[in-house]
A and B are shown apart, each in its own frame.
Chain A
Amino acid sequence: MLAFLIRRISQSVMVLLVMSVLVFVGVFYIGNPIDILIAPDATPAEYARAVKELGLDKPMLDQYWIFLKDAVHGDLGNSFVYNEPALKLILQRMPATMELAVTAMLMAVFIGIPLGMLAGIKHDTMLGRSIMRFSILGFSLPTFWVGLMFIILFSVQLGWLPSGGRGTTVELLGVPVSFLTWDGIQHLILPAMNLALFKTSLAIRLSRAGVQENLQMDYVKFAKAKGLSNTRIIGLHVMKNIMIPVITVLGMEFGGLIAFAVVTETIFSWPGMGKLVIDSIGVLDRPVIVAYLLITVTMFIIINLLVDIIYSILDPRVRLGDHN
């Protein structure tokens, strides 16, 4: 276990390092942020001053070295655009993204699993087939297109829900959240639905497959023979058996939700970190881009590690270590 952990952590550090080099070099070669940030009528002297001030006149290697030294001390650099610590900017935006992702995940679980089980039980009926068709649509429709349709339908045509933004937030344990006010909930529904669509389809398919597989297993046949009601068999025994794998998969997909929030946040002007990074890519705000990627990748690494550990506890056949 310990050896496993040490190996995993050292691998993760390598990944972070390699990624930071890649992004650093890449953004360096794409262009100089000053070209976009500076007033168009600025004189060459003013241009040179701005470049020097942001440390962009130094050779790339030096810049990377400075970044690395500061990063060890937990300082990921100041944003070129906002002149505030990149880390702070991202942490400010993180609660919004997290709230969106968690809500979407809950929607996927509470809508997807029941529907999927239903489709599994009634797989040869109209209902079962319709659910499956819906799920195919759900993971075929590109997120951005659905988001757009949502806005046009629910806010512009029907006027039911707001078209974007986060609405009123209140502080919960010092973190601003919107799900505690009616206004906030209204703002949350559309983007969360948009983000949840894909994972809902996934949950449907996973639980359907799980139900179908379980229904053929001996324990179900025994239970039936014993005279247990269908509701009880499915609601209790089958449910219990499919929940673990489904939840595990969805748990691993949580990282995907955070990544995909980039799209949803852009469409719904949701003030999360995904929107921040898209804006930052637009102006080559390297410290923010690098910090965002480091933070999200670290999050994925932690999620994956936890999943692996929990899995090894749940299923003794799986040994931690190399997959063989």
Chain B
Amino acid sequence: MRKKLLLTLAIVACFAIGATVAQAKTLTLGLKGEPTSLDPHFHNVSANNMQALYIFDKLIRQDNRQKLQPGLAVSWTPVSDKIWEFKLRKGVKFHDGSPFTAEDVKFTLERIPNVPNSPSSFTGFVSTIKNIDIVDANTIRFTTEQPSPLLPRQLAAFTIISKKNAEGASTADFNSGKAAIGTGPYSLVKWDRGDKITYKRNDAYWGEKLPWDEIVVRPITNDGTRVAALKSGDVDLINFVPPADVKHLEKDSKIHLSESPSTRLIYLHLDSDRDDSPTVTGNNGEKIKNPLKDPRVRKAISKAINRKAIAARIMDGLAVPASQMVPDGYEGTSTRLMPEAYDPKGAKKLLAKAGYPDGFKIIIHGPNDRYVNDSDIAQAVAQMLTKIGIKTEVSTMPKSVYFGRASKLEFSLMLLGWATDTGEQSNCLASLLHTYDAEKGFGSANRGRYSNELLDSTLEEALVTVDNDKHNNLIIKATEIGIGETGIVPIHYQVNVWGMKKGLDYNGRTDGYTIPREIVSGK
């Protein structure tokens, strides 16, 4: 009996060792977030959208600077004001060998609004489409309600699934792998929830050459543990290296770092609409009329913030002071806007002009588990505002409580972040600065309820202007209005850092994704 047990143990051990030897061409990634599902249309959140790219492909890819590139579609052209025609790639096969056709695209688009229990769906990306016409197996036309210049951007937001394998499939079928059959570079082997996701190479992939046989994704939420896993060699590459760790990792001869700016903007929203703001009081605690309604006070707050100091001291250099909502070089960004210079004297003058020579009291609210160093940034802002006379208290809370309260307008001054997944500025204008309008779907994240009619009409015009240059000029105009009145106070764009073993290289992406087919094995 005992011998038998020993024998079994020995065999098991051999298998385990054998397995590690055979995994020579495995790439192990230690990533911050775990997807909530492998159903690519269940939850619109970056961890899921990123994992979807391992198994599936998009019609239009976003390159590492979020410019549009051909994916499953090789070209897209407006046939008329309201009709877009997409030519699909020929000869692409799903993991099960079945061919990819226009039927799959149509199926995907029709499934999107009907994913049951989705906590955040992709419906918004397809809601402008009125009609889908399959011209032939490789050509498809979309008719929109209104001229829709952003349609290619919207169709670059999600991946295409297989009609044959996913018809009638539930979210659970994707998680188990049954329906997770895509055209992408890797196919799913197994998802051990909370521990790892294992993929194997799709040898029939239509795109780049893939150096690894197997990809293992390990979700490691804790920053310190993730860095430790890289240093101890448990994983080959990690994302979101915490800024504070960059300096000592740079000194490590076994580790290579790469950094990339991101579209993640950190900004302040200010209650610019109500007369009576919840957390503003006079210097003696008495009720006062909301000073944040005055654009001069908002400007003073912007001037009081030492963006360079925050970038250098709080973010360890891994932040770029922000002038607007999307970094320079993106479509629809203004070249005339500069990050507000640190000018505490000017700020005090502006405050005095607005009738607050001695400042007032306010509470700044912020999350403490959402953005890189979020509560530290909130505290630093409080420090800087206090120094120009606005006595600021800090209150930070977990995101589970924070966002709900922020949306209920319980705060006067709040720290928030915004990542422009579409890679152009109209998205944040519509959500952050356009007047709140539940019916039309504008201003959904305008928690300061900033409002400017000219901005609204300019933006709305841009959204139906298909001509690219005209569209961009309108967007720039709207941006300059909003930032000119300090509708929000941009602070910085995060810089993301990836850490990897020497011998690997990764260019990094502005959307922060870690995509194995873009990782280079330099030997």
A46 to B232, CA, bound (A): 44
Q: Identify A170's interface contact among B16, B39, B118, CB under 8 A.
A: B16
- Asked if B400 is at the interface of the complex by the 8 Å CB criterion, the answer is yes
Q: Identify B445's interface contact among A41, A49, A50, A156, CB under 8 A.
A: A41
- Asked if B75 is at the interface of the complex by the 8 Å CB criterion, the answer is no
Q: Which of A52-86 contact B (CB under 8 A)?
A: 53-54, 78, 80-84
In the complex, what residues of B have CB within 8 A of residue A34's CB?
Answer: 119-120
- Asked if B91 is at the interface of the complex by the 8 Å CB criterion, the answer is no
Instruction: Return B343 CB to nearest CB of chain A, in Å.
Output: 31
Is the pair B222, A266 in contact by a Cβ cutoff of 8 Å? yes
Is the pair B398, A165 in contact by a Cβ cutoff of 8 Å? no
In the complex, what residues of A have CB within 8 A of residue B175's CB?
Answer: 82, 84
- Asked if B193 is at the interface of the complex by the 8 Å CB criterion, the answer is yes
- Asked if B461 is at the interface of the complex by the 8 Å CB criterion, the answer is no
In the complex, what residues of A have CB within 8 A of residue B234's CB?
Answer: 155, 162-165
Q: Which of A71-125 contact B (CB under 8 A)?
A: 78, 80-84, 89, 92-93, 96
Is the pair A151, B225 in contact by a Cβ cutoff of 8 Å? yes
Is the pair A279, B221 in contact by a Cβ cutoff of 8 Å? yes
In the complex, what residues of A have CB within 8 A of residue B232's CB?
Answer: 155-156, 159, 162-163
A38 to B117, CA, bound (A): 12
A275 to B11, CA, bound (A): 32
A287 to B36, CA, bound (A): 15
- Asked if B371 is at the interface of the complex by the 8 Å CB criterion, the answer is no
Is the pair B219, A151 in contact by a Cβ cutoff of 8 Å? no
In the complex, what residues of A have CB within 8 A of residue B438's CB?
Answer: 43-45
Instruction: Return B245 CB to nearest CB of chain A, in Å.
Output: 11
In the complex, what residues of B have CB within 8 A of residue A282's CB?
Answer: 369, 398-400
In the complex, what residues of B have CB within 8 A of residue A182's CB?
Answer: 13, 16-17
Is the pair B194, A276 in contact by a Cβ cutoff of 8 Å? yes
Instruction: Return B235 CB to nearest CB of chain A, in Å.
Output: 9
**Chain B residue nearest in CB terms to A53:** B117
Q: Identify B195's interface contact among A156, A166, A284, CB under 8 A.
A: A166
Q: Which stretch in A11-19, A25-33, A130-138 binds the other chain?
A: A25-33
Instruction: Return A9 CB to nearest CB of chain B, in Å.
Output: 33
**Chain A residue nearest in CB terms to B195:** A271
- Asked if A181 is at the interface of the complex by the 8 Å CB criterion, the answer is yes
Q: Which of B1-52 contact A (CB under 8 A)?
A: 9, 12-13, 15-17, 19-20, 36-37, 39, 42-45
- Asked if B383 is at the interface of the complex by the 8 Å CB criterion, the answer is no
Is the pair A31, B117 in contact by a Cβ cutoff of 8 Å? no
Is the pair B225, A269 in contact by a Cβ cutoff of 8 Å? yes
A278 to B63, CA, bound (A): 35
In the complex, what residues of A have CB within 8 A of residue B401's CB?
Answer: 30-31
Is the pair A31, B45 in contact by a Cβ cutoff of 8 Å? no
**Chain A residue nearest in CB terms to B398:** A282
In the complex, what residues of A have CB within 8 A of residue B195's CB?
Answer: 96, 165-166, 271
A82 to B418, CA, bound (A): 24
Q: Which of B172-213 contact A (CB under 8 A)?
A: 172, 175, 192-196
Instruction: Return B316 CB to nearest CB of chain A, in Å.
Output: 19
Q: Which stretch in B345-353, B403-411, B472-480 binds the other chain?
A: B403-411
Is the pair A44, B444 in contact by a Cβ cutoff of 8 Å? yes
- Asked if B124 is at the interface of the complex by the 8 Å CB criterion, the answer is yes
A81 to B120, CA, bound (A): 10
Given A43-B124, A271-B194, CB of A82 within 8 Å of CB of B37: yes
- Asked if B441 is at the interface of the complex by the 8 Å CB criterion, the answer is yes
Given A46-B124, A50-B121, CB of A180 within 8 Å of CB of B44: no
Instruction: Return A66 CB to nearest CB of chain B, in Å.
Output: 14
Q: Identify B194's interface contact among A93, A151, A283, CB under 8 A.
A: A93
Is the pair B117, A164 in contact by a Cβ cutoff of 8 Å? no
A45 to B437, CA, bound (A): 11
Is the pair B118, A156 in contact by a Cβ cutoff of 8 Å? no
A49 to B329, CA, bound (A): 36
A268 to B194, CA, bound (A): 12
Is the pair A49, B117 in contact by a Cβ cutoff of 8 Å? no
Given A38-B119, A46-B124, A163-B229, CB of A168 within 8 Å of CB of B16: yes
Instruction: Return B419 CB to nearest CB of chain A, in Å.
Output: 8
Among B9, B172, B225, find the residue whose CB has the most chain A CB atoms closer than 10 A: B225
A169 to B12, CA, bound (A): 10
A83 to B43, CA, bound (A): 10
Is the pair A53, B116 in contact by a Cβ cutoff of 8 Å? yes
Is the pair A36, B400 in contact by a Cβ cutoff of 8 Å? yes
Is the pair A183, B20 in contact by a Cβ cutoff of 8 Å? yes
- Asked if B373 is at the interface of the complex by the 8 Å CB criterion, the answer is no
In the complex, what residues of B have CB within 8 A of residue A33's CB?
Answer: 119, 400
Q: Please list 24 pairs of residues, one from A and one from B, whose beta carbons are closer than 8 Å in the complex, sorted by A's number.
A: A31-B403, A32-B404, A35-B407, A40-B445, A43-B124, A45-B438, A45-B441, A46-B124, A47-B444, A81-B36, A81-B43, A89-B193, A151-B228, A152-B228, A163-B225, A164-B220, A165-B196, A168-B20, A180-B9, A271-B193, A271-B195, A272-B194, A282-B400, A284-B400
Q: A interface vs B, CB < 8 Å?
A: 30-47, 49-50, 53-54, 78, 80-84, 89, 92-93, 96, 148, 151-152, 155-156, 159, 162-166, 168-170, 176, 180-184, 266-269, 271-272, 275-276, 279, 281-284
Q: B interface vs A, CB < 8 Å?
A: 9, 12-13, 15-17, 19-20, 36-37, 39, 42-45, 116-121, 123-124, 171-172, 175, 192-196, 218-222, 224-225, 228-229, 231-234, 369, 398-401, 403-405, 407, 418, 427-428, 430-431, 438, 441, 444-445
* Sample of 11 more A-B contacts, CB < 8 Å, known A54-B117, A162-B234: A30-B400, A33-B119, A36-B404, A50-B119, A83-B39, A93-B194, A96-B195, A155-B234, A156-B228, A183-B16, A282-B369
